[in-house]
Amino acid sequence: MIRLLLLVALIVSGCSHHARARAEHILIVTLDTTRSDYLPAYGSSRVTTPNLDRLARDGVVFEQATTVAPLTLTAHCSLFTGLRPPHHGVRDNGDEPLASHHATLAEVLHGRGFRTAAFVGSAVLQVNRGLARGFDVYRDGINEDPWDRHSVRRPANEVVDEAIRWLEGGTGLPFFLWVHLYDAHAPYDVPEPYRTMYSEDPYAGAIAFMDAQVGRLLDTLERYGLSQRAAIVLASDHGEAFGEHGERGHGIFVYQEVLRVPLIIKAPGLSRRRVANVTSLVDVMPTVLDLAGASPLPMDGVNLIPFLRGEAAWPEREIYSESLYPMRFGRNPLRALRDGRFKFIDAPRPELYDLESDPSEQRNLAVERAALVLAMSRRLSALGDAASPLRAKRDLYTPSTETRERLASLGYVSGK
């Protein structure tokens, strides 16, 4: 099988090129709960990540990528549909599964003849949450007992072991592979040698461990001659707060420590560069469709390829983010709008920050820039509520007992 894969790759590489190179294979790796400002590719020295660094050296690094929500299921639904949460309807991890009428990236690529597989590390993304559609293989590692810790999450090496076995059993067809690694999500269980190396910062140790597993995936692609014809996307669903604004963890607030995420794309025909323009996770699907030569679909996201290739000027973007998770605790939902340097948070006490001069969001400008607050508030309402008004707390979907127990064991909902 591997020899056939290699033969196909060599034949394709020897063919005459079209005006725009296409990716024969797609690999998307999502690193759960990973802050961009912890990575050397984004200027940090807290952790060593040689494999993410080599992706960054050879690819496009988006310096201001933004997630739609600080929650795993919501963010992944946006990444794989190109839709904001109000449009795809999955507003938190305990919400109803992604509805079948929303086309996913896996469904589109499978329809174009791609072999598809997903290997995920957390019960938040288990097979019944709506993202399995379009995948020939979808492995979540979930077993019968929802309170068995190993049934709700598994380490990166086990996830990558399965992904590599699947790659090595290939048929020569183009593939779409999604690998999700959950190790940077608390509580941390970092293996050696990373546990000792990062004994004072287990979060950094978890990132180093995931980096090593990403390296195994990249090495496998290179070993079989597939990497030059593959589009590789590395992203995070959200970051993590360490008390900067009173939150430890994620899910409630919508400050930059949880909204700004790494996004790196390496693909045929794309020159390595760094992009300072604001982008969103909803841009991943339309961008990957272009790289794969697929027709565009109606989406909230923007295809970034024409801008990366210099075929168009970068557009002015308004980036939407939200968290409805506080409603489960009787608190107000939070929504945010990023417009260039300014970020507005629609909270009981409105907040406005100039991220260029105040990237840590310490100085609220809402009072002195009241006109801007009003304008951004109106635009935020149009983006966030037009298709799906915020539900009252009593109307929130109640997950099944089994799903609720699994989410409870991960700290997201009460198990009662």
Q: Decide: 125 and 72 in contact? Cβ < 8 Å.
A: yes
Residue pLDDT, tens place only, 119-156: 999 999 999 999 999 999 999 987 655 445 556 899 99
Residue pLDDT, tens place only, 33-67: 999 999 999 999 999 999 999 999 999 999 999 99
**Residues comprising the chain, all counted:** 416
Cβ-proximal residues to 140 (8 Å cutoff; 6+ apart), any chain: 120, 122, 123, 125, 126, 127
- Beta-strand ranges (E) seen in 46-193 are 60-66, 115-119, 137-139, 175-181
Domains and CATH numbers, the chain: 2-10+23-318 (3.40.720.10), 320-409 (3.30.1120)
Q: How far is CA 13 from CA 17, 115, 227, 353, 364, in A?
A: 8, 20, 11, 49, 54
Q: Which one, of 209, 204, 261, 264, lies nearest residue 236 by Cα? A: 261
User: Which residues of the chain, if any, have pLDDT below 50?
Assistant: 1-18, 146-147, 386-396, 407-410, 414-416
Distance CA(408)–CA(108), nearest Å, equals: 33
Q: Decide: 229 and 13 in contact? Cβ < 8 Å.
A: yes
Hey, what amino acid is at 107?
Answer: E
Whole-number pLDDT of residue 330: 87
Cβ-proximal residues to 250 (8 Å cutoff; 6+ apart), any chain: 33, 70, 71, 238, 239, 240, 241, 258
Cβ-proximal residues to 135 (8 Å cutoff; 6+ apart), any chain: 106, 110, 116, 117, 118, 178
Whole-number pLDDT of residue 381: 87
Q: How many other C-beta atoms are found inside a 10 Å radius of the C-beta of residue 110?
A: 17
Whole-number pLDDT of residue 394: 33
What global pTM score does this model have?
0.89
Q: Decide: 49 and 226 in contact? Cβ < 8 Å.
A: no
Whole-number pLDDT of residue 356: 96
